[in-house]
Amino acid sequence: MATASGNPVATQTSLQHWLRINPKQKPQVYAQITATAEMSNIRYWLEILLSAGIAAFGLVLDSPAVIIGAMLISPLMGPIMATGLALAAGDLYLAIKAVANLVASISLAITFSAVIVWLLPFHSVTAEVLARTNPTLLDLGVALFSGLAGSIAVCRVGGGDGVTTLPGVAIAVALMPPLCTIGFGLGSGANTRIMGGAGLLFLTNLVAIVASAFVVFLLTGMNAPEVKSEIEQSRKGEAFELVLSRSPLSRVLINSGQLHWRILMLVVLLGAIAVPLRTAFLQVTGEAITRNAIQEVVKGIFPPGALVSQQVEMGRQSVAVRLISTQDVTQEKLRQAELEIERRSGRKVILSVAGIASQTQLAQLMQRLSTPMQPATKPPIESLSDINHRLTNRIQPILTEVWPAEAPLQDFNIVFSSTGNALTVRYESNRELGKIALDLITRELQEKLGTPDLSVLARRVPPARNASRNEQQKPRK
């Protein structure tokens, strides 16, 4: 056993046996993977266009089901697997074809989706778009495991369709939706934040799958001399192969294309991608810890039912918390709460509380303000209840129109103060609406209501237990 473990050939043979890979089918699998990098396949480019179009509309409609359909159609896994195989086997012929195919496919998908979004009369940023603009190390882990699963499946099935129709892997790694998210940002006015986040997510998936495929193809012996010899024999006579064999690139590959250099290249690429992903992961983790600390500390300040709304604005080193309550809080309590949140989160916290009248106080105020009927020459004074009813009837249809459907409205209140008007909204969702989405909603409300000083304070309400379970059963992308 010691001899077998130290022998690379014996290790490859054992791994092939465990994975039930037929060594005689390796040249066939190699040729079929190579075929997926061919650029003359009209069916491939048609599938790229169809999947890009479906994904673009799915992002605009905020429909996970439509986006999943685009993932299943997308054939991008083929040239990506071919790139991994080319690196594992040191095959310059396959590498050039696969990379050229990938560049053309990426350009076509982004351009086509950008044109679709540009032609639409609206460019609302949906939750599905935002979900693909902030990748973390968790996305890198998903892509690595997905690439391993896809590579093993390709080696085992030995069928041409196995490269491009791996449903589980296609859904898990989601190659086309990030590309179409880049197209969405480009078509909606060159939104660099959306384009940059989605571009990082696609690059993460791409490099992780190539690296995983490289490892699997290398360990299963797809770079064996007999396999490469048979493939090279099948290529003899091709014009591209003749030109490449006589070019300086083939001589460079002999010196710089050795296995350890290819491994180093993949390690450097993974490390370069991991740096921004780690930063984003730490930021998300810090924000989650801070929000939990704020939630727990604020509960201890106010009695049940006194807190009307809570708005949290995250900064890099600080966080601002604006609370609206029906009861006043002493400055000493606020200071103690700030110190406690700072201790738990490590960020400087600024707490501010705006007081509003409770329902009982409003009823007493209305009773004091009620007066006998004025003379006919003077119009009657409109009650606060009528004002509130009239404003609610005006605001409700507009708020329903601009509010995202994936976070159903529960109720809302209108708050008037000397510093400005506010709209407190309670909605049901598994996750907080992002700052970008809230800013867009606030902007539309200000424009349609004609109140430039209006602010929106959103408060999330977790869905019922059965709804949460159903949401958890949906496939993640």
Per-residue model confidence as pLDDT tens digits over 460-475: 888 876 544 554 555 4
pTM higher than 0.75 = no
**Joined tokens for residue 471:** 């949401």
Q: Which of the four pLDDT bands, split at 50, 70 and 90, describes residue 477?
A: very low
More confident residue, 135 or 448: 135
pLDDT over threshold 70, residue 191: yes
Name the range with the highest mean pLDDT among 304-308, 404-408, 473-477: 404-408
pLDDT over threshold 80, residue 33: yes
Q: What is the rounded radius of gyration, in angstroms, for the C-alpha atoms of the chain?
A: 30
Tens digit of each residue's pLDDT (9 = 90 or more) over 334-365 = 888 888 888 888 888 888 777 665 556 556 65
Q: Which of the four pLDDT bands, split at 50, 70 and 90, describes residue 399?
A: confident
pLDDT over threshold 80, residue 220: yes
Q: What is the mean pLDDT of the chain?
A: 79
Range scoring the smallest mean pLDDT among 26-35, 85-94, 216-225, 374-383: 374-383
pLDDT at 382: 63
Name the range with the highest mean pLDDT among 99-113, 370-384, 423-437: 99-113
In this prediction, residues 400-425 reach a mean pLDDT of 76
Q: What is the 3-state secondary structure (H, E, C) of the chain?
A: CHHHHHCHHHHHHHHHHHHCCCHHHHHHHHHHHHHCCCCCCHHHHHHHHHHHHHHHHHHHHCCHHHHHHHHHHCCCHHHHHHHHHHHHHCCHHHHHHHHHHHHHHHHHHHHHHHHHHHHCCCCCCCHHHHCCCCCCHHHHHHHHHHHHHHHHHHHHHCCCHHHHCCHHHHHHHCCHHHHHHHHHHHHCCCCHHHHHHHHHHHHHHHHHHHHHHHHHHHHCCCCCHHHHHHHHHHHCCCHHHHHHHHCHHHHHHHHHCCHHHHHHHHHHHHHHHHHHHHHHHHHHHHHHHHHHHHHHHHHCCCCCCCEEEEEEEECCCEEEEEEEECCCCCHHHHHHHHHHHHHHHCCEEEEEEEECCCHHHHHHHHHHHCCCCCCCCCCCCCCHHHHHHHHHHHHHHHHHHHCCCCCCEEEEEEEEECCEEEEEEEEECCCCCCHHHHHHHHHHHHHHHCCCCCEEEEEEECCCHHHHHHHHCCCCC
In this prediction, residues 353-380 reach a mean pLDDT of 60
pLDDT at 60: 93
Tens digit of each residue's pLDDT (9 = 90 or more) over 133-180 = 889 898 899 889 988 888 888 877 554 444 444 566 767 677 899 999
The residues near 352 (Cβ < 8 Å, ≥ 6 apart) are: 320, 321, 322, 323
pLDDT over threshold 90, residue 4: no
Share above pLDDT 90 across residues of the chain, in percent, rounded to a whole number: 21
